[in-house]
Amino acid sequence: MTDLARITFAKPRAKLAGTVVAFIDESLALGPQATALGLGDLVARAAAAADFKGKTKSVLDLLAPAGSDLDRVILVGTGKTAGLGEKDWCDIGGATMGALGRTKAVTVLFERPDGEPAGKFAADFALGMRLRAYAFDGYMKDGNDPDGGPAKEPVKVTISVEDLSAARAAWTVAGAGGEGTLLARDLVNEPPNVLDPIEFAKRAEALKKLGVEVEVLTEKEMKKLGMRALLGVAQGSVKPPRLVVMRWNGGKAKDQPLAFVGKGVVFDTGGISLKPGGGMQDMKGDMAGAAAVTGLMHALASRKAKVNVVGVIGLVENMPDGNAQRPGDIVTAMTGRTIEIINTDAEGRLVLADAVAYTEDRFKPKFILDLATLTGAVIVALGHHYAGMYSTDDDIAAALSAAGNATGERVWRMPLDTAYDKQIDSKFANVKNAGGRDAGSITAAHFIKRFVKDTPWIHLDIAGTGFGSPQTEVNRSWASGWGVRLLDRFVADTYEK
């Protein structure tokens, strides 16, 4: 990852030079700082010439007038400013970063054009800039950008805001979520010959420097625990599996932990049920759930969240081999429940079956929430804008929906109904790992649910949002880092009050 934005916050200054960003609303009004620069007439004439209406995220780029210490003025539209929320300001931050080009330094006059207090949104704006500035270019020859030009240099961003203390305090939280998101993007973007289960586990262990307790279970230890479902997926690969347990103890010792479990299939060929060759390179991203959990633990530890959290990730590679699992095999999960393998490409749910059972048995958490790029069926249902959410707890589902709407990482609740269980009943074992084409995402969720006892459980199918999702104002990367900000916000709003 290349850091393309170095952000600081400062009090407004009377004299400015270089490049300045100012906000302008749909009435073409400027804020107090921008007005004090004497730009009113220039802005009015330029806006009329360009038919600029000040719509949200629109940009008007001006050369500063002769005799001014300014070189460039970038006007960013806010539309109807009074209705803007944190997601809107985050998107405006991304749009602003996208308009900077190769600017080396910029001062952002962070103020609402109507003069109302805006300091609490400065961190959201900065987060948008930070997320948009992300570039995964470490493998570019000679450090060049994808277009073949010289490598970009980081831009120094100074956000000039009146309520400096509030902005800095908010950035402590928002910035932590942003860094966790960028970590998740890095993990998902890494090539599979680099990020195998062992290397992924090492990167998770790096969280120790933030105070996270990290434990790595080997294949031998998982065999003793009876994790034959997870191990069955890994047996076709020369890369040994790992189960990583990350613990952040920011709450009281007596508090039940919150548990997050991530699917970490570092590369998925489909195994014996081999996937088509076209697009298979994208299956390096089949560990986006594990990446999100790792990024979340980074965010929580960075901001010293006052809550106990455990993150568990099952790391495997699914390969076709003489020793690979076959359709028709029957394996025994950690719970003792037997599984008939119908399709070796329905492997993520096998990893999660053992991972959620282990998490429930060992940690007795308040709830278990798992994330997985689990099914193509959820993309058919929801496209790439929402993740599918399955929950046995209405209150948690509602809190997740609210956090999704606030951050823009949105979820849509899908049904859990015993009628779907018939599709995964097996003639030869307790359950089969695939229920056919109909309701594929739902039956996959029902499969995982069978390995959870009484703990409230939530499953997020992020196949449509974890990678390859639509480009947005705050993400120009193939990997989105989806889920980190959603879950960080969910934890903060629901369990840290």
Residue 284 gets which letter from DSSP?
Answer: G
Residues 6+ apart with CB under 8 A from 413: 389, 390, 391, 397, 401
Strands (E) located in 16-154: 18-25, 59-63, 70-79, 105-109
Strands (E) located in 397-497: 410-413, 431-432, 457-461
Query: Cα separation of 262 and 186, whole Å?
Result: 16
Residues 6+ apart with CB under 8 A from 491: 258, 300, 305, 307, 309
Give the CA radius of gyration of the chain: 24
Residues 6+ apart with CB under 8 A from 445: 374, 388, 390, 414, 416, 459, 461
CB 303 within 8 A of CB 489: no
CA nearest neighbour of 471 among 403, 384, 410: 384
Q: What does the angle CA 290 – CA 296 – CA 300 come to, to the nearest 5 degrees?
A: 150
The strand pairing partners of 454, in sequence order, are none
Does the active-site annotation cover 275? Answer: yes
Helix 348-363 and helix 440-449: axis angle, to 10°? Answer: 30
DSSP letters of 201-224?
HHHHHGGGGGT-EEEEE-HHHHHH
Residue with token string 């993007």:
185
CA nearest neighbour of 265 among 325, 345, 186, 339: 345
Strands (E) located in 193-294: 213-217, 242-249, 258-268
CA nearest neighbour of 245 among 296, 291, 189, 201: 201
- Determine which one of 202, 239, 275, 337 is catalytic: 275
CB 268 within 8 A of CB 363: no
The strand pairing partners of 486, in sequence order, are none
Q: Amino acid letter at 23?
A: F
Query: Cα separation of 358 and 229, whole Å?
Result: 12
CB 61 within 8 A of CB 99: yes
Helix residue ranges per DSSP H, 315-432: 348-363, 377-382, 394-407
- Determine which one of 263, 349, 410, 489 is catalytic: 349
CA nearest neighbour of 309 among 245, 354, 230, 220: 245
The residues annotated with a catalytic role in the active site are 275, 349
